[in-house]
Amino acid sequence: MITSNTHTWQRRERVLERKSGLSPGWWWVGLLVVMIVTGYPLLQLLLKILQFDGRLSLESLHVAFTGKKYLTSFLNTLYVGLLTTTFSLLIGVPLALVVGRIRIPGGKLLRVILMIPYLIPGFVFAFAWRELLGPVGYLNKFYMLISGASEPLFSIYGPVGVVLILVLRGYPIVFITVIRSLRNMNAGYEEAAEVFGAGSLQTMRTITLPLMLPSISGAAILVFSSSIANFGVPAILGSPEGFYVLTTQIYSTILSYGLDNNLNIAASLSLYLIAAGLLFLGLQSRIISRRSYVVVTGKGGRTDLAPPGPEGWVYTLVLSLMGFALVILPLVAIGLSSITRAYGLMPRFENFTLKHFTSLLTDTFTTTALRNSFFLAFLSATLCTIIGFLIAVVTERSKILGRKILDFVATTPRSIPGTIIALAFILAWIRPIPLLGISLYNTFWIILLAYLSRFLGYTVRTISATLKQISPSLEEACLISGGKNWQRIAHILTPLSVEGLAGGWLLVFIPSLNELTMSILLYSSGKETIGVAVFSLLQEGKIGRAAAFSIVIIVIVLLGDRLLHRVTKGKRSLLG
């Protein structure tokens, strides 16, 4: 009798304990919604892999793993990923060590310029480089003009171009990761080495770099997984040359309506990417958990940079050249294209016009795309913020069972390539929803749901980080003052996490606004987004208008980052 009594008590205690944490009754509704939005399509994707001709079979896998073009695209993906990672590290790590340790005249501005490629969507930047170094790009035209040659000097199309653009988007990731841990590193470690007589190069080799290793490898993994997941860059610079990677191969397989079982094969192909993604997710969390005791404690970062010597100016020169060649030139090229009357005309004053910009506002195709994207971005940012806040509250403040699952389901799609998410959404919603008879396919809402699934993780993470900063006693003070749980959320938690809410909102709004990868697979006529519109204009050869649209995107993205900088006091912005 006594034992049974103790059991009842223990159960009651557990129940009460959970209740005394924040235990909103709606948490399981949220879990269900997130499961359906995110979990169900991914489940469908996995199921489709095991089907062929509508039967249970391993044939799709067989085709995906033996078909020659599929294998080639897999090898191409590896090639692109490895090269991109290597070169990103070779540029990013030295850059961080130089900028983080030596005072460079004009260093702040140079840093901003060198980080710009990461902010601009890949397909826009690839387009910009095409205008510079495509067969009829300005640099090639200039070369042919002065040398009289009939062949261009260098073509950006093909694997080299793809890797180049991905490296330009990859090294900022390395730079930011390394410079952050460099700033956080206890300066004592380095100073100790110097006290014992190590020179500065020796210190860097024996102390600084080994201590940075966890963050460097973390950055490498991030670069690798984001470059193999990229769609826009290989779609613009690879596909025209017949150079396919997995994302573009999956895209064209989905669009191969003539091919039997094309969706099943595409699903099987995505297994390569999912496996790589999960592998790197695992590696990353391992490295992060190891890092916790390896090094980087917050205190005592070295803030004093070495005084500017003559070598400072050498660095200024090198970095300026780099910024000019890698960032400014392609932006100038796309800028010229956007104001040149007709494609192929020489950039002379009499050929300049603003008609491409004005046409953005008059042509229904582009105005529809603008309206759609702003509407979608606004909705997805707002919904992600609200849902993300509720999920973060549950995971950070309650003791409910299953909160870890909620967090996992909400944040995993962040690491899954957009192409795969879009495919999963096609597979899940191509047929009308049973019982309801509503079809999501070919509607606006399927795009919105895909955005939600893909970007929810950003808000969950940002808001969780904010909630971690809020002392629980502030909420306890509310409870003991008579506040109920909803008042605790409305009066205390919400106003105190405004920074994280606004930051999370922008972190979703900006990428949603210029999203291409998922939209290109999910859009239907009249539901085009900005990304889809630029891509279509490019395919149709309406270069001037595509360039003007791209300039608008670039301006929005840069303004967005400034705003993010303001809102989060520099914590989330990239341009620092």
List residues near other proteins by CB under 8 A: 9-10, 12-13, 16-17, 19-20, 471, 473-474, 476-484, 487, 491-492, 495-496
Looking at beta carbons only, is 321 or 498 nearer to other proteins? 498
Give the residue with the Cβ less far from other proteins, 439 or 481: 481
Query: Would you say the C-alpha torsion 269, 270, 274, 277 has a positive or negative sign?
Result: positive
Q: Closer to other proteins by CB, 363 or 499: give it.
A: 499
Q: Which residues contact 391 (CB under 8 A, 6 or more apart)?
A: 30, 34, 406, 407, 410, 456, 460
For residue 483, the minimal CB distance to other proteins (Å) is 5
Q: Which is nearer to other proteins, 287 or 492 (CB)?
A: 492
Cβ partners under 8 Å of residue 281, min gap 6: 225, 412, 415
CA atoms within 13 A on the CB side of 231: 25
Q: How far is the CB of 411 from other proteins (least distance, A)?
A: 27
Q: Which is nearer to other proteins, 94 or 483 (CB)?
A: 483
Q: Which residue has the tokens 């009798």?
A: 1
The angle subtended at Cα 61 by Cα 57 and Cα 67, nearest 5°, is 130
**Nearest CA among 213, 131, 113, 128 for reference residue 171:** 113
- Give the residue with the Cβ less far from other proteins, 1 or 146: 1
Nearer to other proteins, 259 or 479 (CB): 479
Residues linked to residue 52 through DSSP beta bridges, in sequence order: 55
Find the shortest distance in angstroms from Cβ 492 to other proteins: 6
Q: What angle do CA 274, 279, 284 make, to 5 degrees?
A: 125
Residue-wise DSSP of 325-366 = IIIIHHHHHHHHHHHBSSTT----GGGB-SHHHHHHHH-HHH
CB of 381 to other proteins, least distance (A): 23
DSSP annotation of 470 reads S
Q: Least Å distance between CB 563 and other proteins?
A: 22
465's tokens:
């980080």
Question: Closest CB to other proteins among 23 and 72?
Answer: 23
Backbone angles phi, psi at 52, to 5 degrees: -150, 130
Q: How far is the CB of 571 from other proteins (least distance, A)?
A: 18
Residue 256 or 469: the one with the smaller Cβ distance to other proteins is 469
- C-beta closer to other proteins: residue 197 or 495: 495
Q: How far is the CB of 12 from other proteins (least distance, A)?
A: 5
**DSSP code at position 492:** I
Q: What stretch of H or E contains 20?
A: helix 2-20
Q: How far apart are CA 137 and CA 333, in angstroms?
A: 8
- The DSSP bridge pattern shows strands 51-52 and 55-56 to be antiparallel
Q: Min. distance of Cβ 480 from other proteins in angstroms?
A: 4
> Which residue bears the tokens 């294209």?
337
CA dist., res. 259 & res. 456, Å (int)? 34
Please report, for residues 181, 261, 264, 420, 424, the alpha-carbon distance to residue 275 in angstroms, rounded to integers and kept in the order given.
29, 22, 17, 12, 15
Token duo for residue 85: 């990672």
Closest distance of CB 298 from other proteins, Å: 19
Select 434 or 482, whichever has its Cβ closest to other proteins.
482
Rounded CA-CA distance 184/302 in Å is 8
Q: Residue 461 Cβ, how far from other proteins at the closest point, in Å?
A: 23
CB of 499 to other proteins, least distance (A): 11
Q: How far is 150 from 141, CA to CA, in rounded Å?
A: 10
Name residue 521's amino acid: L
Taking the least distance from each CB to other proteins, the nearer of 206 and 481 is 481
> What is the smallest separation between the CB atom of 21 and other proteins, expressed in angstroms?
9
Q: What H or E segment, with its residue span, contains residue 56?
A: strand 55-56
Nearest-approach distance from CB 20 to other proteins, in angstroms: 5
As a whole number of angstroms, the distance between CA 291 and CA 293 comes to 5
CB nearer other proteins, residue 356 or residue 403:
403
| Contact indicator for 171, 92 with CB cutoff of 8 Å | yes
